[in-house]
Amino acid sequence: MSSTNSKIQDLSVEKIVENLKAAGMPPDFGEDNSRLLIKTLKTLAQGEPIASSGVERISDELGISVEKADEFLRQITERDSDDNIIGLMGLSLNPEWPHRFNINGNSLRTWCAWDTLFLPTLVDAPVVVESESPVRGTTVRLTVTPNGVANSSPEGAVVSIAIIDPALDDVSSMEAIWGNFCHQVFFFPTKQEAEEWSKEKNNIAILSVNEGYELGRLVFSQLRHYV
């Protein structure tokens, strides 16, 4: 393993926060859009697609114009063939995403492993997570609450975090975020297995699941004010 790769793997939570903020993840959505995002996210967590009528209802409840709400949500949501919202901020009803996210009996998915660690603070509910390692298919199981990781199996589970190069890596759209970030963020049963998976990569940090939770708490601190 190169010394550069080793240094990246061992980056601190604080340094990764700086990296993500430098890359504009997440952007400053502003007060109205932040309120809209959180309300829509909590609605999606109920386990059903959100149709245009649902966007109208949410907009009315928040006192935001439907036109402005629709314009904003179209930039940040995953849609089905009927134009219903099925994904937002990492939370998704799309069964093709590999990370399982059970909230209040509703079975959803997430775009990446890290989403499962910060989303409980945004939907304000405990969740049960199951996700397979990309190396040997070992299942990592977690219970995550708005206050932290309650339990982890295996206990030594870790999460990979992609380090973004703000000058080179595009994160301006969902598709870009999926390609440059989400598709490299997984759970592993041990740090050794994560290091094995990332040894040929030069942009992966490895965190414990508790550090991954703390990373999410810090990165989304501003958005959490609207929960």
Q: What is the CA radius of gyration of the chain?
A: 17
Q: Is the pLDDT of residue 2 over 90?
A: no
φ/ψ of 113, rounded to 5, equals: -65, -40
Strand 99-103 to strand 187-188: parallel, antiparallel, or no bridges (unpaired)? unpaired
**Tell me: the pLDDT tens digits for 123-137?**
999 999 999 999 999
pLDDT, residue 10, reads 87
φ/ψ of 219, rounded to 5, equals: -65, -40
Find, among 159, 149, 134, the residue nearest to 9 by Cα: 159
CB-CB neighbours of 176 under 10 Å: 13
Global pTM value: 0.95
Structural domains of the chain, with CATH = 3-26+92-224 (3.30.450.410)
Give whole-number Cα distances, 105 to 45, 46, 47, in Å. 10, 9, 9
Are 26 and 223 in contact by the 8 Å Cβ rule? The answer is yes
| Greatest CA separation for the chain | 55
For the chain, count helices (H), then strands (E): 10, 11
Which residue reads 């969902």 in tokens?
174
Amino acid at residue number 116: T
DSSP secondary structure letter of residue 98 = S
**Tell me: the pLDDT tens digits for 206-222?**
999 999 999 999 999 99
φ/ψ of 139, rounded to 5, equals: -85, 125
Average pLDDT of every residue of the chain: 96
Kindly state the tokens that stand for 73.
């949500």
Are 61 and 40 in contact by the 8 Å Cβ rule? The answer is no
Sheet holding 148-153, edge to edge: 77-79, 85-88, 91-92, 106-110, 99-103, 127-132, 139-145, 148-153
**Tell me: the pLDDT tens digits for 91-103?**
999 999 999 999 9
**Tell me: the pLDDT tens digits for 13-40?**
999 999 999 999 999 999 999 999 999 9
Kindly state the tokens that stand for 154.
């295996």
